[in-house]
Every structure is written in C-alpha cells, then in structure tokens.
Structure 1
C-alpha cells in the first residue's frame, strides 16, 4: 500500500492528467501498458502488484 501520495506529482512524472490518475486509483481502471510501465518505474513495484486489484476486478466480470 502506498501512503502520502501526491497525485499531482505522480501524474506529472508519468505524463497524464491528475484526474486520469485519480480515476485509475478510485475506479480500479487499468491504464495502458505504457502507463503501467511508467507507474512501475515510479513506485519501483511490479505492475502485477500495482494493478492486482484491477486485474481481479476484471476477471470477476
């Protein structure tokens, strides 16, 4: 789990609008592969872990 996250800072670093990044966080939306890679680099956490909840949510549909 990530704490004390600045949505604006992360958004700028990966090159997306802060509202888009918030949507990924709050709605469990999976971003494109390119943005998954950037998020993985930013957090230094494998994308399979970062987006695990999103993947589980999609599988249950």
Structure 2
C-alpha cells in the first residue's frame, strides 16, 4: 500500500520483542495510517489500524 522511510537510532536501548515492530501513527509528516489494513470490524465498524505486514531494512 505504500512506504514510510524512518531512520531510527536506539543505541541498543528500547528493543522491542523479536517479531514486534512499533511505530507511532500520530506524526502528520508521516501518514502511517495510509499503510495499515483497509479493514473494519464487522460489529463496531472500527477501522483496523493496529496491524499490518512490514519489511525492515538495515541502512
């Protein structure tokens, strides 16, 4: 659905568990919601912005 390029430096701190990626989606400069699933919950009709496939590349 698109891409977002972010350069992140953690210096070994704040490592998420293996298999988990976190990115805040409140940054108006990077519209991360445009990358998430285009799905809604059938009961609540709430948009499913909490999960999607990602590909990481070490630069």
TM bracket (short chain): under 0.3
TM-score normalised per structure 1: 0.26
Quick check: which one's helix share is greater? 1
